[in-house]
Structure 1
Amino acid sequence: MNEHKPPVLCIVGPTATGKSDLGIALAKILNGEVLSADSMQVYRGMDVGTAKVPLHARQGVPHHLLDLVEPDVRFTVADWVTAADEVIAALHRRGKLPIVVGGTGLYIRAICEDLDFGAATEAPEARQRWVRYLEAHGAEALHAALAKVDPPTAQRLHPNDTRRVLRALEVYEAGGGRPLSASYDWRVKGGRYWTVQFGLTVDRPILYERVNRRVDAMMADGLASEVTRLWERGYSRSLPAMQAIGYKELLAWLDGECSLAEAVAAVKQNTRRFVKRQLSWFRRDPRVEWIELDPEGRVEDADLQRILSVGQRMLAGIQSACRE
């Protein structure tokens, strides 16, 4: 830990653990603002399915890194890092505490480490070829193709995570056979910020029930209508953004491949699988300070005070720097 670096507080963990609510509560107490670390919330028009906090529910707390691009625009982790660095610098200048909230592990790691994204170039022709391969042969075959050229990346990606599998194959071809697993230095060294990560978790059965209720709430809030609007605008499953959970399943329904009930069941199942991968990702980082929620999904008072103590120390450092 290097407290002489610019501080950033991170709230991480799997889907449906209440990270957004906690981020807002902390920001109100700590004179902070929230940065979304969610790879799907950068897309405009994808609100319900990505669980963006509605404006009226943000309680006056500014949220950054939302609605940056249209769903048919490529947006990489390197793009996100550039945008995040700009926001963090601006917040520090104003004496505000940046609170990064989200479950996209690579985004969080890019804040905690100085990762090198230079090798992750683009190869549009190769990507389209693999998209056609996916459409013709399915997710399992696509994942098997990745396993042949980049076993470490294939091992950490689920076959249903076709968006990232496609990206890994694209990086492999763009790099002349250099796999994605060789593109980043995964050692824990620390980066340009003083970061502290608090991870939210809860017993697996409770978490899965929260996931199921969350999907039901999304359907009640108009997820099917949202996906239909995107479909009518021509956004198909061939786009990386449309591979997001909740969108690809309902697009399959709109394409006549399944019933709506089957699509919703698939959303729940794929979200539960995604939660397992998120937990595996964050548990590999020994710096995450885990907080066990109570059965009602609340943060215990002692844990909240632990987070606030760190946040107050960070805020004091930021405001002291502003006065110099």
Structure 2
Amino acid sequence: MNNNKPPLIVLVGPTAVGKTAASLAIARQFGCEIISGDSMQVYRGMDIGTAKLPLAEREGIPHHLIDIKDPSEPFSAADFQTACEQAIRDIQRRGNIPFIVGGTGLYVESVCYGFKFQPTGGDPAFREAMQALADSEGAEALHGRLAAVDPFTAAKLHPNDVRRVIRALEIRETTGAPASEQLGEARGDRKESPYNLVLLGFHMERARLYARIEERVDAMLAAGLLDEVRGLLAAGLPSSAVSMQALGYKEMAAYLECRLSYEDAVSLLKRDTRRFAKRQLSWFRHMQDLIWIDADEDSKNSKLLQSIYAIIAGKLKISLQ
């Protein structure tokens, strides 16, 4: 490893696995500033459903890329990469270590390995045609079209993730190259990080993770998730907005618009969150430098934290006090 590269610590893992509590301890130990690697925590007013850590609970540790956009504004992986790289430079200038914590795989990986996103203005007519195809022939047919021209990207996307499937097709249509080629994935090349990278991933036994997910959803509902979604809709944010497709918001909006019963909305939210966690783990498993940490123990457990500290110190050549 080239230790002349600037250090970057990253902690990924599925939702509800315990990243937040551990991240505060790690940040204190190594003098880090935390950068949210979550695609939805960028939105103001979307707090409960995105599991934002309240300001009072951040223990004075700076957190970045939280509450930087209105829910009506678009925010892409390329936007995240640009904003995150700027935050990293600012943190480095202050003499601190940047620490990305989150579960949005593409966003985090794009920074870890400097993915090159080809700029494109997009093709609205093409998007509309692909949406019409999905509506008439089904999401599976649309996904099959992507698999034919970009099997690598198709393998990472669920057929029901119509928006991202259309986006990948649009990239292929407008640039002539598959999205996976832009990200250096198609040839299976080993990606080189511009950082002295410490990439950690939390995992735990599936039944325990699913139980934690159920508990988290119940806690969000008790904390006022429904009222949060009601407020966003009342402020004029349409339920079709990209931000409102986030877990919790989509299901509660369906209830408020009388498209689902409350019981069905909650059941769907729990099911979709379990499926989301499974997709997150599938993405993380292909990340080449990931060091897996068994988080079945409480993430505040001293023994677990000491083992994490030792990994980071070893990678960054830092002496533990």
8 A contact 2:22–2:299 mirrored in 1: no
Match of residue 321 from structure 1: none
**Offset at 1:174?**
2.9
> 1:162, 1:81 → 2: CA distance?
23
Q: How many residues align?
A: 315
1:26–1:273 Cα change, 3 Å: same
Match of residue 179 from structure 2: 180
Match of residue 159 from structure 1: 159
Match of residue 90 from structure 2: 90
**Offset at 1:231?**
1.8
**Offset at 1:306?**
3.3
> 1:232, 1:146 → 2: CA distance?
37
| SS of the residue 1:215 aligns to | helix
| SS of the residue 1:286 aligns to | coil
Amino acid at match of 2:153: T
> 1:62, 1:22 → 2: CA distance?
15
Amino acid at match of 1:113: Y
Match of residue 217 from structure 1: 219
Match of residue 65 from structure 2: 65
| SS of the residue 1:214 aligns to | helix
Match of residue 309 from structure 2: 308
| SS of the residue 1:82 aligns to | helix
> 2:290, 2:278 → 1: CA distance?
16
8 A contact 1:97–1:314 mirrored in 2: no
> 1:302, 1:72 → 2: CA distance?
43
> 1:138, 1:221 → 2: CA distance?
37
**Correspondence 1:275 to 2:277:** yes
Match of residue 268 from structure 2: 266
Mapping of residues 214-293 of structure 1, within 5 Å: 214-293=216-295
1:278–1:221 Cα change, 3 Å: same
Match of residue 114 from structure 1: 114
**Offset at 1:36?**
0.3
> 1:253, 1:286 → 2: CA distance?
41
**Offset at 1:257?**
1.4
> 2:244, 2:170 → 1: CA distance?
17
User: Any stretches of 5+ residues in structure 2 without a counterpart?
Assistant: none
Amino acid at match of 1:91: I
TM-score (norm 1): 0.88
Q: CA RMSD in A?
A: 2.4
User: Any stretches of 5+ residues in structure 1 without a counterpart?
Assistant: 318-324
> 2:137, 2:237 → 1: CA distance?
21
8 A contact 2:229–2:253 mirrored in 1: yes
8 A contact 2:9–2:198 mirrored in 1: yes
| SS of the residue 1:52 aligns to | coil
> 2:251, 2:159 → 1: CA distance?
15
1:117–1:63 Cα change, 3 Å: same
1:93–1:111 Cα change, 3 Å: same
Match of residue 320 from structure 1: none
> 2:122, 2:219 → 1: CA distance?
37
**Correspondence 1:41 to 2:28:** no
Identity of aligned residues (%): 45
Which stretch of the first structure deviates more once superposed, 141-150 or 74-83? 141-150
TM-score (norm 2): 0.88
8 A contact 1:30–1:97 mirrored in 2: yes
**Offset at 1:312?**
4.6
Match of residue 205 from structure 2: 203
> 2:276, 2:71 → 1: CA distance?
21
> 1:214, 1:298 → 2: CA distance?
15
8 A contact 1:97–1:315 mirrored in 2: no
| SS of the residue 2:284 aligns to | helix
> 1:63, 1:315 → 2: CA distance?
22
Which stretch of the first structure deviates more once superposed, 38-47 or 141-150? 141-150
Amino acid at match of 2:207: P
| SS of the residue 2:115 aligns to | coil
| SS of the residue 2:212 aligns to | helix
> 2:223, 2:139 → 1: CA distance?
29
Amino acid at match of 1:306: S
Which stretch of the first structure deviates more once superposed, 209-218 or 128-137? 128-137
Amino acid at match of 2:226: A
**Correspondence 1:126 to 2:129:** no
Amino acid at match of 2:72: D
